[in-house]
């Protein structure tokens, strides 16, 4: 059974969608690839305590990894990319090309980018940690302002200080 709730966050409202108790979607307001709300099931604000708590901890800087059951829907390649995203360390970044190399084929960079763009569990599956080959911010379904916010949230104190000079 699918259910959903809406959670306030520093990046705006997030819509969390669960499938039989596992997180299947986490969408920003104005999310480019957000499915229609009719596909989310019934609104159920009570069943999302762990999601709500872990997001609050993450945005407060007290959580670096999520410990939630996940159920994103995608094809085999997309799920391989999303699984790889889950290995990216808090505060770290990588490129689409590097993820393609880690999947065994550097020519897959564009396909990795496409799978990244379709990640249905934003923030928890950290697609915001993927940058263009030149280190620039490119394409984020929640908007580049949110991507920048999430990357800055995860920066270490040393990185923040270095950015000032």
Catalytic residue annotation? 127
Q: What three-state secondary structure class fits 113?
A: helix
Those residues whose C-beta lies under 8 Å from the C-beta of residue 118, and which sit 6 or more positions away, are 33, 74, 78
Among 93, 160, 159, 158, residue whose Cα is nearest residue 126: 93
Report the sign of the C-alpha dihedral through residues 133, 78, 22, 17, in that order. positive
144's tokens: 């580049």
54's tokens: 């872990």
Q: What angle do CA 81, 56, 122 make, to 5 degrees?
A: 20
């Amino acid at each position: 059974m699918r259910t959903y709730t809406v959670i306030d966050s520093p990046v705006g409202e997030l819509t969390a969608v669960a499938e039989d108790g596992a997180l299947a979607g986490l969408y920003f307001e104005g999310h480019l690839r957000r499915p229609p709300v009719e596909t989310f099931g019934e609104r159920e604000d009570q069943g999302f305590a762990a999601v709500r708590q872990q997001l609050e901890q993450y945005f407060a800087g007290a959580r670096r990894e999520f410990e939630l059951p996940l159920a994103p829907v995608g094809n085999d390649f997309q799920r391989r990319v999303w699984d790889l995203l889950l290995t990216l360390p808090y505060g770290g970044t990588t490129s689409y090309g590097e993820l393609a190399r880690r999947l065994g084929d550097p020519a897959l960079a564009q396909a990795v980018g496409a799978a990244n763009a379709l990640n249905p569990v934003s923030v928890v599956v950290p697609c915001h940690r993927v940058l263009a080959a030149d280190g620039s911010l490119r394409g984020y379904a929640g908007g580049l302002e949110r991507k920048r916010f999430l990357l800055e949230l995860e920066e270490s104190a040393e990185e923040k200080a270095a950015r000032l000079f």
